[in-house]
Structure 1
């Protein structure tokens, strides 16, 4: 090939990819990843470690579990409140572990792997403590109704630390199965780091799965805050998929095959409905030769078709600015989780040498799927009509009135005196920026018209959650992986032209 033609091809290629390169340069994804992980340190409950980086937080809830002689003082506060909900907490651990499994190299290159492992371990340790017998799992610490009547720092809280648990006589399959998934996925993360701890996680995961499967009953202990709408079959499949991946035990593959009929096409991946995650996980097994898992692969394709703009079977609309809009309450939780699945599934398709997904008459290539997922990440980080980052502490413009008790009240370090239940209301209603920046927190996001009011009282759009951030960690790691591939391709093409 002549040098002139090579130069022309290079110019054309650079024109095609230049928007991507310019945007990548404008957004520091490594910084965003580090901040998304840092968020979890601000959500910690219990005695904080010496290497705690979020210094406006202090020790809290040190006696959680005391009335029943169990140690439940660790784990994470769920959102902007001071309650520990075990079911969504376990989902957060599962998502963080999935990110670590899929994108270990990119996270390590960004110097965040150790911090991510610490975040996973903090949540996994709580689950281990909460699983006190083969048929007992503590699923909630705190009276959510009483807590939500107060606005106080976790270091000061004096609301009842009520304990909820599931047992063989009062089961909650969703919570037990999600806990099993969390520990199984975490066991993979720690397999090469701490084999003894990894084995413990796997053993307890197997016990939790047996409990969830043998004593079936839908979990209602955290209603009306976390109610099961999709049933428990998705959590059982999700747990079995992770246990098979972690152990290779045919018992879990047989469970999956025997329950394959429970899989169905869905349009969201959330703390309540895990099927899209199940389908993405098991599609990898399908491409590895287990073709009897084809139902999961087909349903994973349907998930893509339900989200992609231009698809004839699209079910989730986008805002005028291009953001997926599933529902108004904390919509970004569905955006971050959908993006994570789209990234991982496109990676699986590439590995299986499949060019993309056919949605009716429209074919979406894996690069188109990734580009759409990346557009969602970019929207969250500031590429949106308001030019606002929806990650606190990232960029030059971000939410200042996060709906978060600890962040909105002066730190115990600067204001050591107790601030009681009603005393905090003055900070709740003040209408000024929070005194503490909860770096990395993803808020609920804008409305369906891309509009956003930075008002603390609007919890649907201003409150963070652990699972929203956990999925963002996976999505950001995927963008870094994509950037690495893009950089390598550019470098290789440059070498060929020399």
Structure 2
């Protein structure tokens, strides 16, 4: 009897297990079916991918530092950072500003460059057919020219320009930065294998791009890449232990073994030298030690962590099961929505990893999923990885609950308040002045939504609205792939000219008007933004008609002009404009070197001046420059008080001669 009871009990347990397994299997299949149908329908959304690619590349031009080239397309950007490196006796002009600030940070700059170059290597035809190839080459050359400057000798690499605390304390356009910009380096005495290894990868990948276009330049890049990798390999250490200024922003938390793998793998691809592949594989074996007991699968490729890109790259280079399994385990973590231990998905379908710049993670993963999906042979895997990547990119372009594009200047309801100083172009050192950004930083992908698909388009919300070269790096390559699949047309007249505001002007008010005296308060402004700039030889003119005193036989020299209340500037006596009409002017010269759109005390200057007539018949209503002020009790923008740069009219109107 007992035996029968035990048998029955075992049978019931067995039946329950079968039912549970069947239920889980059915549930899993149902989940997979729903996921596939969802991915398929959303993947069918179409956007103008050529336009996105066009604008994403343009964003890097908006990030340029240094002396801008003659073919600069960003009309609101000018030369900036022209003394970078001078504090250390080296020319470090050029390169890219990292994000919405003015720091130049070598680690994320190099990481962005490697991915951009990889995109060109994988999808060269897409860049060419979309008409964006030469623009991308220009950007890769621009940033690599900076890396060449930053690597003046084999074991020295300058990794940062600008001090975070100084830079972030000021909110204004790059062209008029007032703060000191110290430079920082790694060398044999204080190394940085991660920084040197990533820069080696960037230059090696770029050398592949230029190999058949500019052989000599490719050779230069490859030489620097090899020297940098030797430096990284021989003198090992974390760069942020030496460049402590970088620790608050781009601390190397992941160590440097991943960059030693990454750099070696790219050098092998660039040189076909077996020693680099051997080094990559030797360091790959150390990943378990670096990551405290196991390789990582629950994060993604970032400026700091190159393990995931290394999975894909080494799988392609060798075809070995170890790398394939690592790559697929990681990609499956992101792509399998039925895996409860996988990546979190928002209700709208975004694979969401972290609150700070959420879209950059899914964009990079999408880019690598495309690359791996192109390479893998199994049709089901290819479809899965491509469908995931397509879904993520389309989410960023508008297939999301808010039905908004997260790429500035593209699509529907795109962000208008990106966290970017120069695009905002405040003259008052304020995130809230003006309310709207004065420029559209086309192509910049903002940080993105929270885990409930909620997004706040607020300039101060830098977790959501920051833009960065690192953010766009994965997006650019992924969109090139999307173009190769679905096509599109670049905009013919891009970029369209912006509507300009008055940049230099005068506001004025009559303070005192009497029978023989006129006293004027004038405020001259520099709110320049196309681009922001300092105009040293700045002046404005006040035009008067002295016909009434000439009729009484007085001479122009008898009208006395002087500054009031220690005003800043110098003032002339009357100068003739059109003597036949008795038109004269006073010229007020301003020290424009101290007038720039950099804060309340910097962008404007008040000047008061007085005219004393020798006659009591003085009538200011006859004066060209007074007419707008007549009857006004407050300051008004005065068109008839024109402004000049080196005697060239830049604002306002002059009386006819």
Alignment TM-score, normalising by the size of structure 2:
0.65
Residue 62, structure 1, aligned to residue 82, structure 2: yes
Residue 408, structure 1, aligned to residue 428, structure 2: no
In structure 1, what is the equivalent of residue 457 of structure 2? 454
- Residue 396 (structure 1) shift: 2.9
In the alignment, is the contact (CA less than 8 A) between 2:262 and 2:280 conserved in 1?
no
In structure 1, what is the equivalent of residue 317 of structure 2? 285
Return closer, same or farther for 1:312/1:436 CA change in 2, 3 Å cut-off: same
In the alignment, is the contact (CA less than 8 A) between 2:39 and 2:387 conserved in 1?
no
SS at match of 1:225: helix
Hey, what's the Cα distance between the residues in 2 that align with 1:295 and 1:16?
Answer: 32
In the alignment, is the contact (CA less than 8 A) between 1:329 and 1:460 conserved in 2?
yes
Structure with the largest fraction of helix: 1
Which residues in structure 2 correspond to 1:224-373 (within 5 Å)?
224-263=248-287, 264-266=295-297, 267-287=299-319, 291=320, 294-312=321-339, 314-349=341-376, 353-356=377-380, 365-373=381-389
Residue 397, structure 1, aligned to residue 413, structure 2: yes
SS at match of 1:23: coil
In the alignment, is the contact (CA less than 8 A) between 1:307 and 1:314 conserved in 2?
no
In the alignment, is the contact (CA less than 8 A) between 2:42 and 2:394 conserved in 1?
no
Deviations 1:186-205 (A, max 9, x none): 00000011000000000100
Residue 181, structure 1, aligned to residue 227, structure 2: no
In structure 2, what is the equivalent of residue 491 of structure 1? none
SS at match of 2:388: helix
In structure 1, what is the equivalent of residue 218 of structure 2? 198
Larger Rg: 2
Unmatched runs of 5 consecutive residues or more in structure 2: 1-36, 288-294, 488-657
In structure 2, what is the equivalent of residue 85 of structure 1? 105
Aligned length: 439
In structure 1, what is the equivalent of residue 429 of structure 2? 424
SS at match of 1:164: strand
RMSD: 1.8
SS at match of 2:248: coil
In the alignment, is the contact (CA less than 8 A) between 1:392 and 1:440 conserved in 2?
yes
Hey, what's the Cα distance between the residues in 2 that align with 1:205 and 1:330?
Answer: 30
Hey, what's the Cα distance between the residues in 2 that align with 1:241 and 1:165?
Answer: 25
- Residue 265 (structure 1) shift: 3.7
In structure 2, what is the equivalent of residue 29 of structure 1? 49
Hey, what's the Cα distance between the residues in 1 that align with 2:147 and 2:43?
Answer: 42
In structure 1, what is the equivalent of residue 400 of structure 2? 384
Residue 52, structure 1, aligned to residue 55, structure 2: no
- Residue 387 (structure 1) shift: 0.6
Specify which structure has the bigger relative contact order, considering alpha-carbon pairs within 8 angstroms and separated by 6 or more residues.
1
Deviations 1:157-208 (A, max 9, x none): 0111111100101111111101000000000000011000000000100000
- Residue 369 (structure 1) shift: 1.4
In the alignment, is the contact (CA less than 8 A) between 1:32 and 1:394 conserved in 2?
yes
SS at match of 1:203: helix
Hey, what's the Cα distance between the residues in 2 that align with 1:96 and 1:275?
Answer: 17
- Residue 238 (structure 1) shift: 0.6
Return closer, same or farther for 1:77/1:21 CA change in 2, 3 Å cut-off: closer
- Residue 479 (structure 1) shift: 1.2
Unmatched runs of 5 consecutive residues or more in structure 1: 1-14, 357-364, 411-418, 485-498
In the alignment, is the contact (CA less than 8 A) between 2:210 and 2:217 conserved in 1?
yes
Deviations 1:2-31 (A, max 9, x none): xxxxxxxxxxxxx9999478522xx10110
Return closer, same or farther for 1:20/1:446 CA change in 2, 3 Å cut-off: closer
Hey, what's the Cα distance between the residues in 2 that align with 1:244 and 1:131?
Answer: 21
Structure with the largest fraction of strand: 2
SS at match of 1:137: strand
In structure 2, what is the equivalent of residue 72 of structure 1? 92
